[in-house]
């Protein structure tokens, strides 16, 4: 295994951590709004690291470029969908969960 392969494996392991943590957040967080955070943030970081890892293994520059473009497009989609879901919930009067103050 070359140094590049080791780096790829480390990046993928970090990406996996973010995806798993995001999924756990999706299950554990108390309301719709917080769950949106779990999905968008963790996936942003997880996919970014995955893309970076795959870039190291890419055979040509167009491949590197394509991977980068995929990340940006997914970011744009993820952020837009996050807003659409959050906004619709807000419009319908869904109250955010709040920690009870003692």
Closest approach, Cβ 48 to other proteins, in A, equals 6
List 12, 55, 56, 86, residue binding other proteins (CB under 8 A): 86
- Say which residues have a Cβ less than 8 Å from residue 82's Cβ, sequence separation at least 6: 36, 39, 40
Q: Does 24 bind other proteins (CB under 8 A)?
A: yes
Q: What are phi and psi of 59, to 5 degrees?
A: -90, -20
Enumerate residues 6+ apart whose C-beta is below 8 A from 15.
45, 46, 47, 48, 49, 50, 53
Q: How many CB atoms lie within 10 A of CB 102?
A: 3
Q: Which residue from 2, 3, 92, 98 is in contact with other proteins, where contact means CB under 8 A?
A: 98
Q: Where along the sequence are the contacts to other proteins (CB under 8 A)?
A: 17-18, 21-22, 24-25, 28-31, 33-34, 36-38, 40-42, 44-46, 48, 60-62, 65-66, 69, 75-76, 78-80, 82-83, 86-87, 89-91, 96-99
């Amino acid at each position: 295994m070359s140094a590049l392969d080791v780096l790829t494996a480390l990046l993928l392991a970090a990406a996996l951590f973010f995806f798993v943590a995001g999924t756990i957040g999706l299950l554990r967080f108390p309301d719709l709004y917080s769950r949106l955070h779990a999905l968008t943030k963790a996936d942003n970081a997880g996919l970014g690291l995955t893309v970076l890892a795959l870039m190291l293994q890419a055979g040509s520059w167009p491949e590197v470029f394509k991977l980068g473009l995929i990340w940006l497009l997914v970011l744009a989609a993820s952020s837009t969908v996050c807003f659409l879901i959050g906004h619709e919930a807000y419009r319908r009067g869904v109250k955010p969960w709040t920690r009870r103050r003692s």
